[in-house]
Chain A
Amino acid sequence: MKVVCALGSSLVSLVVSAPALAAASLSGAGATFPAPLYSRWISDFEKVNPETKLNYQPIGSGGGIKQFIDGTVDFGGTDAPMTDEQIAKVKGNVLHVPTALGAVVFTFNVAGVQKPLNLTPETACGIAMGKISTWNDKRLLSLNAGVTLPSAPLTFVHRSDGSGTSAIFTDYLSKVCPEWKDKVGSGTAVNWPVGLGGKGNDGVSGLIKQTPNSIGYVELVFAEKNKLPVAALKNKAGKIVSPSTNSVTQAFADSVAKLPSDFRMSITDADGAASYPISGITYLLVRKNMSKEVGVPLVKFIKWGLRDGQKICPSLSYAQLPAEVVSRVEKALNVIELK
């Protein structure tokens, strides 16, 4: 009897809750970089909003934009904002919502060097262009007094797969290095002048660990999680700054004056004495015109991410949005029309 009762009541609850569940099931896809953060956000958000189910597939920024344009997902995720051409494809029906910040850091494997190295825009350019080919190059030695750099050849390691990390890195080089801008340019995949390619952050860091006297770049989150040695970088103001969640947030804060109303902006090579120069914004893509079924829970989730979600960022090594940006984004959410 008891069993039947329990079965009966659970059946009733199933029937009752099923429509509500179906109404608030949202799917998104896109950038892999913020995926660990989003999955944490989703699980925390669902605890306080059990009626909403969210799902985020980390398929890459390019794929996220594609699926968003095709309308197969409720929201997209990307590290690089959509281009004008892509926005035209959705007839302007898109809002870029900055959610968190990331950074790209140099990591290296040089025998006997444990301390963080110092680099400048010129030396970063020289390494990626293949112009600095040994570790005891004068330009590196003068920056790193007190560090014994070997006379060994320097091997540069880059991403072999298309990635937002490469996009931020090459965007930075295009700004600080005229030769790079002319010969290579920026993008998720470029024609690298020198070096070895590794697939993914782990592919790059694996190659660096395996190859003596090598240097390459990975995401800050990945470097912190794996405790990789990183290099500090001289910024636009001429100060040498270590990569950290604070110095990345600072890079955005120092660029806020230039932030356009659609939030599409590069924050590499930012002004300001404390900003780390290879920083980037990651976005959620949402439609300005949505159905209520999708729009209400999605906007609720985004607002939660901008408030409560930001507090989670540092514990996962993501940099928070500056407070001013949060309030501007919250205002911008008002343009969303729900039908």
Chain B
Amino acid sequence: MSSSLSEKIFRTILGAFGVFIVLLMFSVAIFLTVGAWPVIRHGLSDFVQTQTWNPVNGQFGALAVLFGTLVSSSIAIAIAAPLGVGAAIFLKELAPARVASVFSFLIEMLAAVPSVIFGLWGFFVLAPAIRDHVAPIFYPLGEYVPIFRGPSYGVGILTAGVVLALMILPTMAAIVREIFSAVPQHQREAALGLGSTRWEAVRVAVLAPSKPGILSAAVLATARALGETMAVTMVIGNRNAVSLSLFDPGQSMASLIANEYAEASDSRHIAALMAVGLLLLVISLVVNAVARIIAKRSAAKWK
């Protein structure tokens, strides 16, 4: 009797915890929607298609920050995905156990570095390096291809993308390594037994079945890049404009909110910042949902 009672209490308490988290999620969404209402009342399409962000005359469009967020995050994942997969292959398939454990530890340490440190490094080391050494290589190309058009100020979309890549690399590498661990050992042995080389065995027996997992790892890592604020503010150049060149300064959604919310006193300005927050929340949720769906499908396939 008493044990079933305690069971019940235990269940109720844990249930309340679960409900609390769901409520929290909903309350954030509701708070943002209510706050953003004056701006999104007439539909989001105008808001996401206008580039001008002008607090003085109350004209607010999120196209520039949407563009900045998506492009910098895409650069980040384009760099972090191959690096992360490569690192995971090395750690799981090639490196001796002792080396692998040391390297894994170091990569996980990278995930513990506060984002402001990445920002400082990006600002003082990476930005000047890109301006003085990387960008000039592409200037001749820039005459024909607008994405390489100079000049580079150091800070800009590309710099933000590279800093983000380093920040999400540990996430990418750690998840992919776990996925490789789930590949049965006999599959590798079978591939080797059939006379394949090391690389062929990795490709056929490990990489191929891990594809959906790698994809969902990449999506999860991208989700982390989308919302990063501090490091991005420091290196993106904070310019609310859409520019095709990777060397030009830009602005991200999270960075815009962090920059302007403290001094926003006009109600329309606050509503516009809330609308940007809502947009960021929706994008993050969609990205996470995509990762879930991919992971679920692959799990079903392997059962």
Contacts and interface: CB of A to CB of B under 8 A. Distances in A.
Interface in A178-219: 184-192, 195-199, 203, 206-207, 210-211
Contact of B260 (A185, A189, A198): A189
Among A153, A163, A199, A206: residue with most chain B CB under 10 A = A199
Interface stretch (B76-84, B176-184, B202-210, B232-240): B232-240
B7 interface: no
A205 to B, nearest CB: 12
A61 B263 CA distance: 6
Among B153, B154, B234, B239: residue with most chain A CB under 10 A = B153
B6 interface: no
Contact of A210 (B53, B124, B239, B263): B124
Contacts of A155: 153
B206 to A, nearest CB: 44
B263 A60 contact: yes
A164 B251 CA distance: 21
Contacts of B238: 160, 196-199
A239 interface: no
A211 B153 contact: yes
Interface string B42-79: 00000000001111110000000000000000000000
A199 B260 contact: no
Contact of A160 (B128, B233, B269): B233
Contacts of B127: 210
Contacts of A211: 153-155
How many chain B residues sit at the interface, stated as a range, is 20 to 34
Among B57, B251, B265: residue with most chain A CB under 10 A = B265
Nearest to A164: B263
Contacts of B154: 210-211
B264 interface: yes
A219 B137 CA distance: 38
B212 interface: no
B249 interface: yes
Contacts of A206: 123
Interface residues of A, number: 34
A190 B52 CA distance: 11
A60 B56 contact: no
A191 B263 contact: no
Given A189-B55, A190-B54, A207-B155, A196 B249 contact: yes
Nearest to A188: B263
Given A153-B151, A155-B153, A195-B239, A63 B263 contact: yes
A162 B239 contact: no
B185 interface: no
A303 interface: no
A65 interface: yes
Given A199-B234, A210-B154, A185 B262 contact: no
A86 B269 CA distance: 15
Given A184-B56, A186-B56, A210-B127, A62 B264 contact: yes
A197 B260 contact: no
B217 to A, nearest CB: 32
A207 to B, nearest CB: 7
A288 interface: no
A137 interface: no
A189 B263 contact: yes
Given A155-B153, A210-B124, A196 B239 contact: yes
Given A59-B262, A189-B264, A197 B237 contact: yes
Interface string A153-177: 1010000111110000000000000
A264 interface: no
A188 B262 CA distance: 10
B56 A191 contact: yes
Nearest to A214: B153
Among A164, A185, A189, A195: residue with most chain B CB under 10 A = A189
A65 B265 contact: yes
A206 B237 CA distance: 12
Interface string A89-101: 0000000000000
Given A65-B265, A199-B259, A185 B153 contact: no
A162 B123 contact: no
Contacts of B54: 190-191
A66 interface: yes
Contact of A63 (B57, B240, B262, B269): B262
Contacts of B234: 199, 203
B235 to A, nearest CB: 10
Interface string A117-151: 00000000000000000000000000000000000
A116 to B, nearest CB: 25
Given A189-B55, A196-B153, A60 B233 contact: no
A161 B262 contact: yes
Given A60-B262, A62-B264, A189-B263, 18 more contacts: A62-B263, A160-B233, A184-B56, A185-B57, A187-B55, A187-B56, A188-B55, A189-B264, A189-B269, A190-B55, A191-B53, A196-B249, A197-B249, A199-B233, A203-B234, A207-B155, A210-B123, A210-B127
Question: Across chains A and B, which 9 residue pairs bring their CB atoms closest together, nearest first?
Answer: A162-B263, A197-B238, A160-B238, A191-B54, A62-B265, A185-B56, A62-B263, A60-B262, A161-B259
21 contacts: A59-B262, A61-B263, A61-B265, A62-B264, A62-B265, A63-B262, A155-B153, A161-B258, A161-B259, A162-B262, A187-B56, A188-B55, A189-B263, A190-B55, A191-B53, A191-B54, A196-B237, A199-B259, A203-B234, A211-B153, A211-B155
Interface of B: 52-57, 123-124, 127-128, 151, 153-155, 233-234, 237-240, 249, 251, 258-260, 262-265, 269
